[in-house]
């Protein structure tokens, strides 16, 4: 069978597969054409230069576009012929393949796909992929046979498709959707749980900030409004229980919606508020108490301690207490803070448990290192870049020295575990040395 327009010749081989060949134009063939076109472009540019002493025309760009077309078009033309031939034969064969499936199985999507390698894009495989409604993919292959001394190059369409299991091939034809992507994506459990925690804390921070904004905006009026609402709400509840009126019940339901919102709001705020309060009381007990004691001694004994010295002592002692005196901090928060479990409500025990968990020694140690790192980074940048202090020169230096004391103390505690001197053998040897007598 001949196709005069495309010069396509078709036949069937012994396997019953359709074979075809055609005159394949090659990239950069007929170089005389590009030479003539180049000369024409060059002449136009030369005339422009001689007449106007400019070369602002777009002719050089047009030449580049023509050159690119000369290289790419033959390849695209060949690809188009192969695609049309494969689609035509897939249409003829697919109907018989679908009979092997259930009646409701049908074609959803079709994709012509070429596998290539190397920087020159050498084609190593040509396929037509058919996505079915049951999510299976049929793969029809077009084999390329290289020319020999007696035969020209030709293509063989394999009429028997295979079930595609290659994930790279399937990805080309599968329909992309957010739901499928979410199902396939594998998120580590730690990342998933951390994301949920950040969402809860983020929502809590937003609600807490909004609550604080309302309090600062309306001040005492907000308390009055809330008390007034609670009084009316309780009265409506009492009336509804006494008078079973349909309109009153509906009005009570509508009036109760703000209370429901307040409850949800409070529940979402509670974890974030608990975490924030635990660190606030950690700061008060670990850093506030030393600073208060130093201030008191300075006032009573008239020691004339400088502000930088107070910062140094408070930050050094506070950092050490926060990490290495974590049992003291936990006991203080558990017994002498609003986070104490008063056993009035069930949530109080959980709130205390959460507060003690987040101020764990390792968590606080990381937080202190992070805080010092951020502060010293910013203050170092300010000093080097602008020759300015973040607070004052003395206080910046005091905080730096406090951090060095904290590091030295932490290292000392860590190294103390490796000390080979034990109390009992040491005392025994000392007593023996005292009591030994030559006689």
Contact 147, 172 (CB under 8 A): no
Contacts of 267 (CB under 8 A, 6+ apart): none
Handedness of CA 177, 180, 182, 186 (dihedral sign): negative
**Per-residue tokens: 416:** 């103390």
Extract the residue ranges of the chain whose pLDDT is less than 50.
1-5
How many Å apart are CA 268 and CA 244, to the nearest integer? 34
Contacts of 322 (CB under 8 A, 6+ apart): 282, 286, 287, 329, 364, 365, 368
> Which residue matches tokens 């600062």?
216
Q: Specify the pLDDT at position 404.
A: 92
How many Å apart are CA 382 and CA 396, to the nearest integer? 11
How many Å apart are CA 411 and CA 416, to the nearest integer? 8
Contact 70, 27 (CB under 8 A): yes
**Per-residue tokens: 427:** 């005392």
Tens of pLDDT along 283-332? Answer: 888 888 888 998 898 888 888 888 889 889 999 999 999 888 888 888 88
How many Å apart are CA 298 and CA 306, to the nearest integer? 9
How many Å apart are CA 366 and CA 355, to the nearest integer? 17
Q: Specify the pLDDT at position 182.
A: 63
How many Å apart are CA 282 and CA 371, to the nearest integer? 14
Q: Specify the pLDDT at position 417.
A: 73
Give the number of other Cβ atoms within 10 Å of residue 17's Cβ. Answer: 18
pTM of the model: 0.53
How many Å apart are CA 227 and CA 262, to the nearest integer? 13
Q: Specify the pLDDT at position 68.
A: 60
Q: Specify the pLDDT at position 73.
A: 57
Residue 420 C-alpha from the chain's centroid: 48
How many Å apart are CA 127 and CA 170, to the nearest integer? 11
Domain borders along the chain are 2-183, 246-416
Contact 207, 265 (CB under 8 A): yes
Q: 81, 79, 74, 87: which is closest to 5 by C-alpha?
A: 81
Contacts by residues 404-410 (CB-CB < 8 Å, ≥ 24 positions apart): 405/316, 405/319, 405/320, 406/315, 406/316, 406/319, 406/320, 406/323, 406/368, 406/372, 409/320, 409/324, 410/323, 410/324, 410/365
Helix runs in 284-336, H state only? 289-301, 307-324, 326-335
Name the strand (E) or helix (H) holding 154: strand 154-157
**b/e 44-71 (16+ beta carbons within 10 angstroms → b):** ebeeeeeeeeeeeeebeeebeeeeeebe
Q: Specify the pLDDT at position 185.
A: 67
Distances (CA, A) of 178 to 85, 167, 175: 34, 18, 10
Residue 143 C-alpha from the chain's centroid: 43
Tens of pLDDT along 161-177? Answer: 999 988 888 888 887 76
Eight-state DSSP code of residue 188: -
Q: Specify the pLDDT at position 421.
A: 67
Contacts of 44 (CB under 8 A, 6+ apart): 57, 59
**Per-residue tokens: 2:** 């001949």
Q: Specify the pLDDT at position 405.
A: 92
SS3 of 315, please?
A: helix
How many Å apart are CA 289 and CA 325, to the nearest integer? 13
């Amino acid at each position: 069978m001949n196709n005069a327009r495309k010069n396509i010749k078709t036949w069937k081989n012994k396997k019953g597969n359709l074979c075809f060949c055609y005159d394949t134009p090659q990239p950069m063939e007929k170089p005389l054409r590009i030479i003539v076109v180049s000369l024409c472009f060059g002449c136009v540019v030369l005339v422009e230069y001689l007449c106007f002493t400019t070369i602002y025309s777009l002719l050089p760009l047009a030449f580049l576009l023509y050159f690119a077309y000369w290289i790419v078009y033959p390849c695209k033309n060949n690809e188009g012929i192969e695609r049309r031939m494969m689609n035509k034969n897939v249409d003829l064969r697919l109907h018989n393949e679908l009979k092997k499936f259930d009646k409701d199985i049908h074609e959803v999507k079709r994709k012509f796909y070429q596998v290539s390698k190397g920087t020159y894009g050498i084609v190593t495989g040509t396929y037509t992929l058919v996505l079915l409604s049951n999510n299976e993919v049929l793969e029809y292959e077009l084999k390329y046979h290289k020319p020999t001394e007696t035969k020209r190059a030709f293509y063989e369409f394999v009429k028997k498709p295979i079930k595609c299991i290659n994930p790279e091939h399937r990805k080309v034809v599968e329909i992309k959707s957010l739901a499928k992507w979410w199902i396939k994506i594998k998120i580590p459990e730690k990342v998933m749980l951390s994301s949920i925690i950040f969402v809860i804390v983020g929502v809590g921070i937003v609600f807490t900030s909004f609550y604080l904004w309302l309090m600062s905006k309306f001040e005492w009026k907000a308390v009055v409004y809330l008390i007034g609402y609670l009084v009316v709400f309780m009265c409506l509840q009492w009336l509804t229980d006494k008078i079973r009126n349909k309109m009153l019940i509906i009005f009570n339901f509508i009036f109760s919606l703000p209370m429901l919102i307040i409850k949800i709001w409070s529940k979402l705020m509670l974890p974030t508020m608990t975490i924030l309060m635990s660190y606030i009381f950690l700061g008060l007990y670990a850093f506030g108490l030393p600073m208060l004691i130093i201030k008191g001694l300075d006032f009573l004994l008239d020691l004339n301690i400088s502000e930088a010295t107070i910062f140094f002592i408070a930050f050094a002692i506070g950092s050490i207490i926060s990490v290495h005196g974590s049992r003291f901090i936990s006991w203080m928060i558990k017994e002498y803070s609003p986070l104490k479990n008063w056993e009035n409500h069930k949530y109080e025990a959980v709130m205390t448990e959460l507060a003690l968990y987040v101020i764990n020694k390792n968590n606080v140690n990381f937080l202190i290192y992070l805080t010092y790192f951020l502060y010293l980074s910013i203050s170092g940048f300010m000093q080097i870049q602008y020759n300015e202090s973040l607070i004052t020169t003395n206080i910046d230096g005091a905080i730096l020295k406090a951090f060095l004391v904290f590091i030295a103390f932490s290292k000392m505690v860590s190294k103390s575990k490796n000390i080979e001197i034990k109390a009992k053998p040491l005392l025994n040897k000392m007593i023996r040395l005292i009591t030994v007598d030559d006689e």
